[in-house]
Structure 1
């Protein structure tokens, strides 16, 4: 089976990103900045190797981003709920500071990245979240062997994919960036799984690159 080239991309900015509010499974749309980021991303991707297929989380902040790119590139777009962000149950809609003040012991388990900790109100543990994400991406990658697949998803999902590609554990501290509309490049093979090719490419967001007056 030929390898699958994956572009794993976080959605554009939302108002709740700005407010550092936990979104989880809540369906928060892009703000004006997020829509502009997605448009810049779409123009940048037109200058690279063609995208054969696009698959997006069903949450609107990812799906809006994906549709802007699909419209620009002509790549077919499908939706998969397995690419959703981690569910944070009752914490969704609150900031970490609010949660920490209300439940400091539970907040500390989250901060320490306890793999077994389950957010109250039907949230997902890191272990179950990782299982969902890795299984979803493995199936999508196998279905698109030999192709370039763009995945539009969320920060938590990208964190899982980075760890899977580099061999880092769930409890290891994050030292890498996961920016809105950053392009993260991975390679998938059935024998090796995911490997890291490049991470956090945000050149399309640099004003100098997009200054049409100098084109």
Structure 2
């Protein structure tokens, strides 16, 4: 008997002013700018024919507003989850990447070097984020066997998901894009995960930002 895969479409939230300024948002609750709102609507239009049965989202407003726009296009009500929030960047939150490097040089070196245990002085380490994100991903997949689901998340969350699905270490430099409102399809069957497509932006009118460090 052939197993039908469970397919999850992960969408990064639309653009914010802090994305454009390369300012670290983390769990600070920043809303979409006008470009981000248009991107969210475009993602919804793109997914209309994808056979989506459920829609999940981080409860931070930049993701939630993106999910609401997608839900309006698909006729679905988003389900919010704090477990899908962006990584907590502790003392880095609210700073630009350049400011964080200047003010916290040792911490920034650990961050840039992808030290999996570094937690931004009471923020969240990569290991902790990995446990949170993969636990929720498995829960969503188990709830919708053989179906297609959309999950709206953040750049740091997508970084974790890509590594988890491909079996790559947390410490490895990033070799994939994470554009605002990019569409990323993964699937799972019998406990095996696969990346189907990643970083799709053909649905967007203009180029999308990937302002995240590698």
- For the criterion TM > 0.5, the same-fold answer is yes
Structure 1 gap segments, 5+ residues each? 208-215
- TM-score normalised by length of structure 2: 0.92
In the alignment, the residues of structure 1 paired with residue 65 and residue 139 of structure 2 have an alpha-carbon distance, to the nearest angstrom, of: 23
Three-state SS of the structure 2 residue aligned to 1:187 is strand
Q: How many residues align?
A: 204
The higher radius of gyration belongs to: 1
Are the counterparts in 1 of residues 68 and 77 from structure 2 also a CA contact under 8 Å? no
Contact 1:142 1:190 in 2 (8 A): no
Distance 1:118 1:49 in 2: 38
Partner SS, residue 203 of structure 1: coil
Residue in 1 aligned with 2:138? 138
Alignment match, 1:74: 75
Instruction: Give how far 1:190 is off.
Output: 4.2
Q: Distance in 2 between matches of 1:154 and 1:197?
A: 19
* More helix by percentage: 1
Q: For 2:175 and 2:115, how far apart are their aligned partners in 1?
A: 17
Q: Which runs of 4+ in 1 moved over 4 A?
A: none
1:171: Cα distance to partner? 0.5
Structure 1 position 201 matched with structure 2 position 200: yes
CA distance in 2, matches of 1:115, 1:34: 30
Distance across 1 between alignment mates of 2:50 and 2:126: 34
CA distance in 2, matches of 1:60, 1:141: 24
| TM-score with structure 1 setting the length | 0.92
Aligned to 1:3: 5
